[in-house]
A and B are shown apart, each in its own frame.
Chain A
Amino acid sequence: MTSTLQVGYIPLVDAAPLIIAQVLGFAEEEGLDLQLKRAASWSMLRDMLDFGQVVAAQMLSVVPVARALGLGGGSVPLEAPMVMALNGETLGLSKAVAALVDAPFGDAMAAGRALVALDRPLRFGVPFPFSMQAELLQYWLERAAHGVQVSIHTVPPPLMAQALLADEIDGFCVGEPWGSQAVGVAGAKLLLPGSSIWSQAPEKVLATRSGWCEAEPDLAGRLMRSVWRAGRWLSDPANRLTASEVLAAPHHLGVAAEVIDPALTGRMILGPDGDEAMAAQFMTLHDGAANFPWRSQAAWIGARLAGRFGLDPDAAQIKARAVFRSDLYRQHLAGTGAAMPRASDKAEGILAQAEQVTTTEGSLILLRNRFFDGAVFDPNPAPR
């Protein structure tokens, strides 16, 4: 018997695992009919989740953590039983500012120095105050462009190109396809992929209200397995063409398939002149246990938010860690072939190259995990 589940998403390339799970029948294999509800903004999607119009949603990884720390709107606790996407952000500059900046694509240090050399205040657009885009942008500016006066504004991604044209912002950090769209529509130039700031940044999670997975373990397991299988399908290069065609449909992303391709292949069109470059680890939907919700990823987000909002860092990390439910992932994906790491924490930023590690049942290749400045985030700091 097929069960119907209401699931929410925002029209972005990294909604692909949910859309593909339904369209290509991974949900059906689990006896699920996913009713995909498209939302126009993160606030709307969050409200739909809070008030039960959807039981699960694609969500900015920072939102459920911020909620646990009492930041932002809403009062219902949220949690993340799995990660949906790592990275996939682009950071770019307006046509006017890009003309003054000379830095090779993907070199975060050089890009930071180039901004310092501009010697002028800069305004950046990000999609939401609580987003990996906002976190990566600020992390990078603090450490590579120290001293530059920056103001950060929330700009809905579909309006990013318009904000550039109206000279409301000088640059942006946004998820695809909106960075590529800004290049095409507003003549913007891409400076960095988010992965050049942190190569394994948890960008989107599958979020539910806290306790839903325990209340509906059967449905939760079926949903998680179908999303995981969709991610595996998406990671096969042979399926990319099909994937962009499915995503491009008017009732899903509603943009041309060509604008979706760069995010799936990592081959970015950098500017109006048509130069291309490969972005390493541009967006990871499956490889290297990408869907495993590491407690340490949540702790990193908690530590960053604590720093920005003046909260107690240790308490913030403890609350944050509880949001990424690696226990639920282990429970519901057991037996699917999903690699299960032996620990639920890792030192973020420590892998200079991909590395094979032992898992509970075999081995797994963890992908390169680096911050551009070589920092390592130890999720278990010495008690103070």
Chain B
Amino acid sequence: MSSDISIIIVEGDRERALRIVDALTEAGDYRITVLSDGAGLARRIAELRPDVVLIDVASPSRDVLEELTLASGAMERPVAMFVDRSDPGITRAAIEAGVSAYVVDGMRPERIRPILDAAIARFHLFSRMRTELATTKAALEERKVIDRAKGFVMRAKGLDEVAAYQLIRKAAMDQGKRVVDVAQALVTAAELLK
């Protein structure tokens, strides 16, 4: 793979940016620069004049790139924007993955394809990891609430831990609610009664 393609990744999240850099390095030999969102982005991209800009679909800074496509000179303007418009399949995949690419005018689709494939794969991986993390965090929060509710029932009714949990679980089943919701109601009530 030739090394004459320069890529800018616009990504404020350091870990995510590093993962995309890793993926691109595996896919080919590119000159890669990472920039974060925010003030001065347009100026820095204009100075670096990359061949490809990779950016999160949901980044508010995408509109800044829109301006660059108008502002730069006719020969060098990065107009192709959203991947290659003639290939709606890959464009749709890119949107769904969460990556969009702004490409210099005249760059051939087959050269951008591996860059985009690598970026899309990493965006997918990252969003899956983020979902997993969020789920784990929520589970831990739920456990904390249930523990506090158990403690309250144990003190109020003089029960041991297992019996307290069984009582909460039974209440949840009787009311057709989740254990954590009953526990939350108990904790809220306990705070009020303090």
Chain A residues at the B interface, C-beta cutoff of 8 Å = 39-44, 47-48, 51, 53, 71-75, 127-129, 153-159, 162-163, 166, 168
What sequence of 0s and 1s flags, for each residue 30-67 of chain B, a beta carbon within 8 Å of any chain A beta carbon?
A: 00000001111010000000000000011111111111
Q: Which of A41, A53, A159 has the most CB of B within 10 A?
A: A41
- Would you call B82 an interface residue if the criterion is a C-beta within 8 Å of the partner chain's C-beta atoms? yes
Q: Beyond the given A39-B58, A153-B67, A166-B40, could you list 13 further A-B residue pairs with CB under 8 A, ordered by the A residue number?
A: A40-B58, A41-B62, A42-B66, A44-B58, A44-B62, A47-B95, A73-B81, A74-B82, A74-B85, A128-B66, A154-B66, A154-B67, A166-B39
What sequence of 0s and 1s flags, for each residue 58-95 of chain B, a beta carbon within 8 Å of any chain A beta carbon?
A: 11111111110110000000010110010010011001
B95–A51 CB distance below 8 A: yes
Chain A contacts for B65, CB-based, 8 A: 43
In whole angstroms, what is the CA distance A42 to B61 when docked?
10
B57–A47 CB distance below 8 A: yes
**14 A-B pairs (CB sep. < 8 Å):** A40-B59, A40-B60, A43-B65, A47-B57, A47-B91, A73-B79, A73-B82, A128-B66, A129-B66, A154-B64, A156-B61, A163-B39, A166-B38, A166-B39
Q: Which of B59, B63, B66 has the most CB of A within 10 A?
A: B63
Partner of A72, one of B38, B60, B70: B70
In whole angstroms, what is the CA distance A73 to B42 when docked?
17
Residue of B with least CB distance to A43: B62
Partner of A73, one of B37, B38, B40, B69: B69
Residue of B with least CB distance to A76: B85
A43–B38 CB distance below 8 A: no
A156–B92 CB distance below 8 A: no
B59–A53 CB distance below 8 A: no
Residue of B with least CB distance to A39: B58
Residue of A with least CB distance to B61: A156
Chain B contacts for A41, CB-based, 8 A: 58-63
Chain A contacts for B37, CB-based, 8 A: 159
Chain B contacts for A163, CB-based, 8 A: 39
A47–B59 CB distance below 8 A: no
B57–A44 CB distance below 8 A: yes
A162–B66 CB distance below 8 A: no
A153–B42 CB distance below 8 A: yes
What sequence of 0s and 1s flags, for each residue 108-125 of chain B, a beta carbon within 8 Å of any chain A beta carbon?
A: 000000000000000000
B67–A159 CB distance below 8 A: no
In whole angstroms, what is the CA distance A276 to B140 when docked?
48
Chain B contacts for A47, CB-based, 8 A: 57, 82, 91, 95, 100
Residue of A with least CB distance to B82: A47
Chain A contacts for B58, CB-based, 8 A: 39-41, 44
Chain A contacts for B82, CB-based, 8 A: 47, 73-74
A154–B42 CB distance below 8 A: yes
Partner of B67, one of A39, A44, A51, A129: A129
In whole angstroms, what is the CA distance A53 to B58 when docked?
14
In whole angstroms, what is the CA distance A39 to B58 when docked?
7
Closest CB-CB distance, B68 to chain A, in whole Å? 9
Closest CB-CB distance, B140 to chain A, in whole Å? 22
In whole angstroms, what is the CA distance A127 to B66 when docked?
11
In whole angstroms, what is the CA distance A128 to B42 when docked?
13
Chain B contacts for A156, CB-based, 8 A: 60-61, 63-64
In whole angstroms, what is the CA distance A75 to B83 when docked?
13
What sequence of 0s and 1s flags, for each residue 97-115 of chain B, a beta carbon within 8 Å of any chain A beta carbon?
A: 0001000000000000000
Chain A contacts for B63, CB-based, 8 A: 41-43, 127-128, 154, 156
B57–A73 CB distance below 8 A: no
Residue of A with least CB distance to B92: A51
In whole angstroms, what is the CA distance A166 to B42 when docked?
14
Given A44-B62, A127-B63, A129-B66, A159 and B39 contact (CB-CB distance below 8 Å):
yes
In whole angstroms, what is the CA distance A194 to B63 when docked?
21
Q: Which of B39, B58, B92 has the most CB of A within 10 A?
A: B39
Closest CB-CB distance, A120 to chain B, in whole Å? 19
Q: Which of B60, B67, B79 has the most CB of A within 10 A?
A: B60
A51–B91 CB distance below 8 A: yes
In whole angstroms, what is the CA distance A128 to B63 when docked?
6
The 9 A-B pairs at the shortest CB distance, nearest first, are namely A156-B60, A154-B67, A166-B39, A43-B62, A41-B62, A73-B81, A40-B58, A168-B39, A41-B63
Closest CB-CB distance, A207 to chain B, in whole Å? 16
Chain A contacts for B95, CB-based, 8 A: 47-48, 51, 53
Chain B contacts for A53, CB-based, 8 A: 95
Closest CB-CB distance, B106 to chain A, in whole Å? 16
Chain A contacts for B62, CB-based, 8 A: 40-41, 43-44
Chain A contacts for B38, CB-based, 8 A: 159, 162, 166
